[in-house]
Structure 1
Amino acid sequence: MKLHSNILGEGTPFLFLHGFLGMGDNWKTLGGQFAEAGYQVHLIDQRNHGKSPHSDDFDYEIMAEDVVDYCKQHNLSDIILLGHSMGGKAAMLVAAQNPDLVKKLIVVDIAPKYYAPHHQQILDGLTALEEAHLSSRKEAENLLKEFISNKGIRLFLLKNLERESQNKLCLKLNLSALKANIEKVGEALPEDQKYAGETLFIRGENSDYITSEDEVSIKNQFPKAEIISIPDAGHWVHAENSDAFYEAVLKFL
């Protein structure tokens, strides 16, 4: 599968993997900053997301293979790999299975453990969007408001809309495949999958995705892991405190 990406800057290849229902474009501002700092930034749309191809097949093994294939297609080696949430799980697996490819790993607000499905309200809202005949973003936001009270999350989800024709908006992502495979999004990284390279785990101080109990399994599977918290930030750490996030990543690099 040929993943869609935006490539910014020159230098050491630095690949970004977005979270569930996101896209590479979510990282555009930070990506530009890292490009200015001397990295070749690859903002990747994972399968069934953004402008990348759609497929019924969707799990972490396949997503990891997609990233390895992407590196081959673009002739990349010694990469820095960053993943947020679902993208963090995919990034962990890429690094564990391909330690010679990944020079440094950055995992944002996700642990290697199992997470129970918890996106039902969001998926219901997106399903309503897909089934409605919408002609404007305002209509879409008003509809989504019935399902999601948080404006930030609504705006994040509305990035998935694109104009199919003058009077019709549609979703870019493959909603049916994502709903069918929702259980797989929460799957744990198998315990035998380990990565001995330099690793940074970043959690949002106000997020409960990485708890103090998770530090044991993180250190077990990523022995060189450093775990830091970003203040005034929840699960969308990079959006909620982008300055502190940028500084922390730059310091690690």
Structure 2
Amino acid sequence: MPNLLLLHGALGHSDIFNPYLTALSPYFTVHTPLFSGHGDRELPAEGINIKKYTKELSEYCKVNNLTDVSIFGHSMGGYAALCYAMENPENVNSVMTLGTKFDWTEEQALKESKMLNPDVIIEKISVYAQLLESQHGAKWKQLLPAIADLMIDLGKNPPLENNLATINIPTQIMVGDKDHMVTLEESIRVYRSLPNAKLAVLPDTKHPMDKVQPDLLLRLIKDFWNLS
């Protein structure tokens, strides 16, 4: 059975894919790895960046002997998926991304990272703070600034920039029409820069994975991977 990796975003968790596992398991052996610092995985002392997460993905595939994988990545998971595909084209069959931000500049990264202040989140979005604690434990307060550093590093050194044309595998770039973090324009730019890509815009869809309509996303997944 073909292997499918489902990759969560920054501050996300593999639990977000639970609504999709039953529908996908007849077609794939589904893998839902966690990036370090997320869930029960320790936050590395040296910090995190997209290169580290790409390496973790590579190590996961080696350990599990995955040499011909399809990948779905939400948000940062989609960015890591394309980085892995760029470095290991022989190992990746195809990639779908949803809500992945591609336009990383230092200015943009600093703007996004300022929103990752634990004290502000506790004060203004207490429900979100409780969710983060339930998913990542007490270390969620350390995970936020680590993700902020990851964003700033991406702004300084975006590895996909100028390299998209080298990714020849079938790819589908997807974005919600109400995503306030990812623009339709940047998604179209990346879609046009990839040699073998499709584009899908999800109606009435915001950025968080739990705001996506599972039936809609499953239809797009089944269409892309020709699942009957």
TM range (shorter): 0.7 to 0.9
Once the two structures are overlaid, the 10-residue window that deviates more, 49-58 or 102-111, is: 49-58
1:80 to 1:155, Cα distance in 2 relative to 1, 3 A: farther
SS in 1 for 2:89: coil
**Which consecutive unaligned segments of at least 5 residues does structure 1 have?**
1-10, 130-142, 163-169
Match of 1:53 among 2, 24, 42: 42
Match of 1:171 among 136, 139, 152: 139
Q: After superposition, give the CA deviation of every residue in 1:137-172 in whole Å (9 maximum; x if it has no partner).
A: xxxxxx83x2228x5x5565343354xxxxxxx236
C-alpha distance in 1 between matches for 2:73 and 2:134: 19
Give the letter aligned to residue 235 of structure 1: H
SS in 2 for 1:212: helix
1:79 to 1:157, Cα distance in 2 relative to 1, 3 A: same
C-alpha displacement at 1:200, in angstroms? Answer: 0.8
C-alpha RMSD of matched pairs (Å): 2.5
Identity of aligned residues (%): 22
SS in 2 for 1:105: strand
C-alpha distance in 2 between matches for 1:103 and 1:238: 26
User: Which has the higher Rg, Structure 1 or Structure 2?
Assistant: 1
C-alpha distance in 1 between matches for 2:136 and 2:58: 28
State the partner residue of 2:125.
148
Match of 2:71 among 77, 81, 93: 81
Give the alignment of 1:177-196 within 5 angstroms: 177-186=146-155, 188=158, 189-193=160-164, 194-196=166-168
Aligned pairs, number: 215
SS in 2 for 1:160: helix
List 4+ stretches of structure 1 deviating above 6 A. Answer: none
Match of 2:17 among 9, 16, 27: 27
Match of 2:204 among 209, 227, 232: 232
Q: Does 1:128 align with 2:122?
A: no
Once the two structures are overlaid, the 10-residue window that deviates more, 185-194 or 107-116, is: 185-194
C-alpha displacement at 1:224, in angstroms? Answer: 1.1
Give the letter aligned to residue 185 of structure 2: S
State the partner residue of 1:247.
219
Q: Does 1:15 align with 2:9?
A: no
C-alpha distance in 2 between matches for 1:203 and 1:228: 7
**Which consecutive unaligned segments of at least 5 residues does structure 2 have?**
none
Q: Does 1:41 align with 2:23?
A: no
C-alpha displacement at 1:51, in angstroms? Answer: 2.1
Match of 1:199 among 171, 192, 213: 171
C-alpha distance in 2 between matches for 1:47 and 1:237: 19
Q: Does 1:63 align with 2:53?
A: yes
Structure with the largest fraction of strand: 1
Structure with the largest fraction of helix: 2
Match of 1:157 among 112, 132, 141: 132
C-alpha distance in 1 between matches for 2:60 and 2:83: 15
Contact 2:9 2:76 in 1 (8 A): yes
1:57 to 1:155, Cα distance in 2 relative to 1, 3 A: closer
State the partner residue of 1:218.
191
Once the two structures are overlaid, the 10-residue window that deviates more, 198-207 or 180-189, is: 180-189
1:54 to 1:111, Cα distance in 2 relative to 1, 3 A: closer
C-alpha displacement at 1:185, in angstroms? Answer: 4.8
Contact 2:86 2:167 in 1 (8 A): yes
Give the letter aligned to residue 28 of structure 1: N
Give the letter aligned to residue 39 of structure 1: F
C-alpha distance in 2 between matches for 1:103 and 1:34: 17
C-alpha displacement at 1:110, in angstroms? Answer: 1.8
Contact 2:76 2:101 in 1 (8 A): no
